[in-house]
């Protein structure tokens, strides 16, 4: 049974890497149905993989339901690391539903459980989310200090992907405060070994780099960078990041005086954010309305 579960998870993760997200969802749904009365820890793992797919697609109800089902199953099985991941997933849903207090509670639970289980990647992921909440609350200095400490921890634990994720968050913070050298330095750390990174991380780093190129006036390079980033984000299947990438691409094309291509990118951004019921839809719609009114 455990071998079958691992085989299913490996197949689904491989399918997601190829951009075959619908196939991964179909296989997971079938495996979950078969395991309903089976091994609790195995079912919890499958449910959390399904929750992650749903979260990427913007289906918050499905993500929340799957994660909340997974948590008690993992608890019964004594799978503390899986409980930590379930709590992190519930926190992400709460955050997207603008429930910051609930999100903080679940993130705290995730960190505590992950540290108990010595599940360092989950602990780092949850603490990155706490830093993001600090940043959204206006505590940029606190968020920066926490992320720098987390990046050092990830390096010490030999977790290069997690370290790269921390440096991506630091690059975004540096870009927001218009600190070009710091942005470039952190992006360099993110992309030190790009082939080892998942498409989502590479794509999001590409968007930051495109914004930095725009800030220094290299519009054509920024457009080219956005095209590459959007391609990676399509592969990753994360609706929120893809919507942001298409919005940036459309805005860059407008600056580059390519209105028809910009319209296509912005139209797709609107479709993606609408389909996934993302709050960013309003921002995309506003940009389109301003263009039409110009």
Q: What pLDDT, on a 0 to 100 scale, did the predictor assign at position 5?
A: 79
Q: Do 207 and 192 form a contact (C-beta atoms < 8 A)?
A: no
32: left (phi over 0), alpha (psi -120 to 50) or beta: alpha
Q: What pLDDT, on a 0 to 100 scale, did the predictor assign at position 40?
A: 83
What are the tokens at 180?
A: 């070009």
What are the tokens at 155?
A: 């390096």
Q: Give the C-alpha separation, 164 to 205, whole Å.
A: 9
What are the tokens at 127?
A: 């603490």
Q: Do 71 and 86 form a contact (C-beta atoms < 8 A)?
A: yes
Q: What pLDDT, on a 0 to 100 scale, did the predictor assign at position 1?
A: 54
In this structure, how many other beta carbons lie within 10 angstroms of the beta carbon of residue 166? 27
Q: Interior CA angle at 236 toward 215 and 22, to 5°?
A: 145
Q: Which residue has tokens 């390096």?
A: 155
Q: Which residue has tokens 């030190």?
A: 192
195-222: pLDDT as tens digits? 999 999 999 999 999 999 999 999 999 9
Q: Give the C-alpha separation, 284 to 266, whole Å.
A: 7
Q: What pLDDT, on a 0 to 100 scale, did the predictor assign at position 294?
A: 57
In this structure, how many other beta carbons lie within 10 angstroms of the beta carbon of residue 290? 9
Q: Which residues of the chain have pLDDT under 50?
A: none
**What does pTM read for this prediction?**
0.90
Q: Is 118 helix (H, G, I), strand (E, B) or coil?
A: coil
Q: Give the C-alpha separation, 131 to 139, whole Å.
A: 9
Q: Which residue has tokens 């913070």?
A: 173
Q: Give the C-alpha separation, 146 to 182, whole Å.
A: 16
Q: Give the C-alpha separation, 284 to 267, whole Å.
A: 9
Q: Do 110 and 88 form a contact (C-beta atoms < 8 A)?
A: yes
Q: Give the C-alpha separation, 141 to 147, whole Å.
A: 10
127-182: pLDDT as tens digits? 999 999 898 888 999 999 999 999 999 999 999 999 999 999 999 999 999 999 99
Q: What pLDDT, on a 0 to 100 scale, did the predictor assign at position 99?
A: 65
């Amino acid at each position: 049974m455990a071998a079958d579960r691992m085989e299913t998870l490996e197949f689904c993760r491989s399918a997601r890497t190829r951009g075959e997200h619908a196939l991964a969802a179909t296989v997971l749904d079938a495996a979950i149905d078969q395991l309903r009365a089976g091994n609790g820890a195995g079912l919890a793992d499958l449910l959390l993989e399904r929750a992650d797919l749903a979260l990427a697609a913007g289906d918050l109800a499905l993500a929340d339901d799957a994660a909340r089902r997974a948590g008690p199953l993992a608890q019964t099985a004594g799978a503390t690391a899986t409980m930590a991941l379930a709590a992190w997933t519930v926190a992400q849903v709460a955050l997207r539903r603008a429930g910051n207090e609930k999100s903080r509670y679940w993130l705290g639970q995730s960190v505590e459980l992950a540290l108990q289980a010595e599940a360092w990647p989950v602990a780092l992921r949850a603490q990155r989310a706490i830093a993001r909440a600090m940043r959204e609350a206006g505590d940029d200095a606190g968020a920066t200090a926490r992320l720098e400490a987390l990046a050092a921890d990830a390096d010490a634990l030999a977790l290069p992907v997690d370290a790269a994720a921390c440096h991506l968050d630091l690059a975004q913070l540096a870009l927001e405060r218009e600190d070009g050298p710091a942005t470039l330095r952190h992006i360099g750390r993110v992309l030190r070994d790009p082939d080892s990174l998942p498409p989502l991380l590479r794509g999001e780093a590409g968007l930051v780099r495109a914004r930095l190129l725009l800030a220094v006036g290299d519009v054509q390079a920024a457009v080219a960078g956005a095209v590459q980033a959007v391609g990676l984000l399509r592969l990753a299947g994360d609706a929120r990041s893809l919507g942001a990438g298409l919005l940036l691409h459309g805005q860059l094309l407008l600056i580059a005086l390519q209105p028809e291509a910009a319209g296509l990118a912005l139209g797709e951004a609107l479709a993606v954010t609408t389909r996934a019921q993302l709050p960013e839809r309003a921002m995309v719609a506003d940009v389109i309305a301003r263009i039409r009114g110009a």
